[in-house]
């Protein structure tokens, strides 16, 4: 699913507003910093969760996940999608070697929570996840990652390894001047309930769902 690739010349800059220490009891038990920003291009309250590199970590680009908000999956643990397990996986992997999760307030691939829930009603009638967005007059995927690029720059993370199965994230970040040195696939968190959704993402959205671990150099 390719969205509009942003123009690098429009690439916004942001600065760090606050760094707040927290312990991530649910996912890892590790200390982390929640970072807020001034000047994000879309005005949304995106937040970065930064985990320091353990002393033993190899000297390589930090691991980063762009996680789009999914209240149903992340908070309630809905099995309609794979977001909750992906977030926990990202926090675990990033705690092991250092890096950041950017928690992006892009609920429903950018259409918002109520609209996403409306599309769930359509999906209950066998309409796929992308077509359901279109049926309510919205884009299949309305996300752009300009704010994410600005956050990475403000954190000094210009060169990263990106944890994703979504090629659009990599393409957009690169167009915005972030050096994505490698792509690390996320696991495939398949359930009976999310099988159709994952199949549509692979077939229509170009997501790689090999289930393979191991990073792919990006060039
Ligand atoms: N509109 C819509 N949004 C959904 C649906 N299921 C999950 N989402 C949203 O999709 C976003 C997660 O995007 P995904 O495409 O699953 O994954 P991704 O983050 O783009 O890609 P990965 O990095 O590989 O995980 C979150 O904002 C979810 O709220 C759905 O059926 N319809
Ligand atoms: Zn989800």
**Fold classification of 8-106+143-217 (topology level):** Rossmann fold (3.40.50)
pLDDT in tens, 50-100: 998 876 556 789 999 999 999 999 999 999 999 999 999 999 999 998 999
167-209 residue pLDDT tens: 999 999 999 999 999 999 987 777 788 888 778 878 877 777 6
Q: What is the pLDDT of residues 103-147, one digit of tens each?
A: 999 999 999 999 999 999 999 999 999 999 999 999 999 999 999
49 in Cβ contact with 32 (< 8 Å):
yes
Distance 7 CA to ligand 2 centre (A): 28
Name the residue of 3, 64, 68, 135 whose CB sits within 8 Å of the most ligand 1 atoms, as the mutation to test its pocket: 68
- Using CA atoms, how far apart are residues 123 and 116, in angstroms rounded to an integer? 10
**pTM, to two decimals:** 0.90
**Closest listed ligand to the CA of 75:** 2
Atom of ligand 1 nearest to the CA of 65: 23
- Average confidence score pLDDT of the chain: 89
**Residue 1: pLDDT above 70?**
no
For residue 158, what pLDDT is reported? 95
Distance between CA atoms of residues 77 and 105, nearest Å: 17
SS3 content of the chain, % helix, strand, coil (to 5): 35, 20, 45
In short, whether 143's Cβ falls inside 6 Å of ligand 1 is no
Whether 62 lines ligand 1, by a CB cut-off of 6 Å, is no
């Amino acid at each position: 699913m390719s969205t509009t690739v942003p123009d690098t010349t429009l690439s916004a800059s942001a600065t760090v507003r606050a760094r707040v220490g927290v312990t991530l009891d649910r996912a890892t038990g590790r200390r982390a910093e929640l970072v807020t920003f001034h000047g994000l291009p879309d005005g949304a309250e995106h937040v970065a969760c930064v985990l320091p590199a353990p002393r033993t970590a190899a000297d390589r680009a930090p691991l980063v996940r762009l996680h789009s908000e999914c209240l149903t999956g992340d908070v309630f643990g809905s099995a309609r999608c794979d977001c909750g397990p992906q977030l926990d996986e990202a926090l675990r992997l990033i705690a092991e070697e250092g890096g950041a999760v950017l928690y992006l307030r892009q609920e429903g691939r950018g259409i918002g929570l109520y609209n996403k829930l409306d599309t769930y009603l359509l999906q209950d009638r066998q309409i796929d996840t992308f077509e359901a967005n279109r049926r309510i007059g919205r884009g299949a995927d309305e996300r752009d990652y300009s704010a994410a690029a600005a956050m990475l720059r403000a954190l000094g993370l210009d060169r990263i390894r990106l944890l994703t199965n979504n090629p659009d994230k990599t393409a957009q970040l690169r167009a915005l001047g972030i050096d994505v040195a490698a792509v690390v696939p996320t696991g495939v968190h398949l359930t009976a309930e999310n099988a159709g959704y994952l199949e549509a993402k692979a077939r229509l959205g170009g997501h790689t769902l090999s289930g393979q671990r191991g990073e792919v150099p990006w060039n």
